[in-house]
A = this chain, B = another copy of it.
Amino acid sequence: MTRKVCVVVTARPSYSRIRSALRAIADHPDLELQVVVAASALLDRYGSAVQTITRDGFTISQRVYLLLEGENLVTSAKSTGIGVSELATAFDNLAPDAVVTVADRYETLATAVAAAYMNIPVVHVQGGEVTGSIDEKVRHAVTKLSDLHLVSTKLARERVIKLGEREDTVIVTGCPSIDIAAEVAANPQLDFDPFERYGGVGQRAELSGGYLVVMQHPVTTEYERARAQVEETLYAAKGAGLPVLWFWPNPDAGSDDTSKGIRVFREHERADGFHWFRSMSPEDFLRLLVNATAIVGNSSVGIRECSYLGVPAVNIGTRQRGRERGANVIDVGHDRAEIAAALGEHARRGRPASDSLYGDGRAGVRIADCVAGAALSIDKHLTY
Q: Which of A21-29, A139-147, A177-185 is the interface stretch?
A: A139-147
Q: Once bound together, how far apart are the Cα atoms of A78 and B62, in whole Å?
A: 16
Q: Which residue of B lies closest to A257 (CB)?
A: B44
**Separation of A384 and B162 alpha carbons in the complex (Å):** 8
Q: Is A130 an interface residue (CB 8 A)?
A: yes
Query: CB distance A78 to B85 under 8 Å?
Result: yes
A267 within 8 A of B: yes
- In the assembly, what is the distance between CA of A290 and CA of B254, in Å? 38
Asked if residues B114 and A81 are in contact (CB atoms below 8 Å), the reply is yes
Q: Are B73's CB and A65's CB within 8 A?
A: no
CB-CB under 8 A for A78 and B88, given A145-B141, A162-B164, A199-B267? yes
Least CB distance, A125 to chain B, in whole angstroms = 17
For the complex, is A337 an interface residue (Cβ under 8 Å from B)? Answer: no
Taken together as a complex, chains A and B put the C-alpha atoms of A164 and B140 apart, in Å, by: 10
Q: Is A341 an interface residue (CB 8 A)?
A: no
Copies assembled: 4
Binary B-proximity of A65-105 (CB < 8 A = 1, otherwise 0): 11111100111111011111111110111000000000000
Q: Whole-angstrom distance between the alpha carbons of A75 and B42 in the complex?
A: 12
* Range class of the A interface residue count: 35 or more
Question: In the complex, A130 Cα to B77 Cα: how many Å?
Answer: 28
> Using Cβ atoms and an 8 Å threshold, which residues of chain B touch A382?
130, 136, 140, 159, 163, 322
Which chain A residues in 89-144 approach chain B with CB under 8 Å?
A: 89, 91-93, 106, 109-110, 113-114, 116-119, 130, 132-134, 136-138, 140-144
Q: Which listed segment binds B: A304-312, A358-366, A373-381? A: A373-381
Contact across chains for B145 and A256 when beta carbons are under 8 A apart: no
**How near does chain B come to A233, taking the closest CB pair, in angstroms?**
21
One of B84, B92, B117, B119 near A84 (C-beta < 8 A): B84
A43 proximal to B (CB < 8 A): yes
Residues of B within 8 A of A381 (CB): 130, 132, 136, 321-322
Q: Are A117 and B164 in contact (CB under 8 A)?
A: no
Cβ contacts under 8 Å, A116 to chain B = 134, 137-138
Check A84–B74 contact: CB distance below 8 A: no
Minimal beta-carbon separation of A297 from chain B (angstroms)? 21
Whether B118 pairs with A74 at a CB distance below 8 angstroms is yes
Given the complex, which residues of B lie within 8 Å of A321, measured CB to CB? 381
In whole angstroms, what is the CA distance A254 to B329 when docked? Answer: 43
A89: B residues at CB distance < 8 A: 74, 78, 86, 89
18 pairs across A/B with beta carbons < 8 Å? A42-B70, A44-B256, A62-B93, A78-B85, A80-B113, A86-B89, A89-B89, A116-B134, A119-B134, A132-B381, A133-B379, A136-B381, A141-B141, A141-B144, A143-B144, A162-B162, A322-B381, A322-B382
